[in-house]
Each structure stands twice: as C-alpha cells, then as structure tokens.
Amino acid sequence: MWLIPTTRGQRYSIDGYGDLFAEVMKDWIAAGNEHFRPHDLRAGGATKLLNEGHTASDTTGHKLESTLKRHYDRPAERRGKPAA
C-alpha cells in the first residue's frame, strides 16, 4: 500500500509525483496560500512537535537533538541579518 497511490493503486514515479505535486501546488497558490516544498512538511511537523516538548527521537527518529535542530527546526521568526 502506498501513501499517495496512482488511480490504479501503484506508486508514482519520481516524475509522476513531481507533476502531481506541481499541479496541486498551482491550485494551492491560486487559492492564496504560500508555496512550500514536500520537505517542508517534515520540517513543519518536527518544529510543531519540538514546540510541544517532544525530543528528536520522538519526531524524526534522529538520535541527536543537534541533527534535528540543524535540519528540521523552522522557527516562525526568522533569525538573520537585516537587509541593508
């Protein structure tokens, strides 16, 4: 069983999934929403669980908290240098 199967119940090819995602994203943006990548779903979910007090192994299966923070923690407030 596949998480996102084709109409025939098979898995999507890489190109097929990319085409499907692009179509869904086009409609999502047309409805006034912000663009995101599939990887952002994992990062967003991990960030939400971190904010609720869960650990790296609870959220992504990583053993080190530093790995989770480096790759997935996406704070709502961007920390960076202001534009000149």
User: pTM value?
Assistant: 0.59
Rounded Cα distance, 2 and 60, in Å: 20
* Per-position DSSP letters for 5-37, written without gaps between them: --TTSPPPPHHHHHHHHHHHHHHHHHTTPPP--
The mean per-residue pLDDT over the stretch 34-43 comes to 86
The mean per-residue pLDDT over the stretch 65-77 comes to 72
DSSP 55: -
The pLDDT of residue 34 is 92
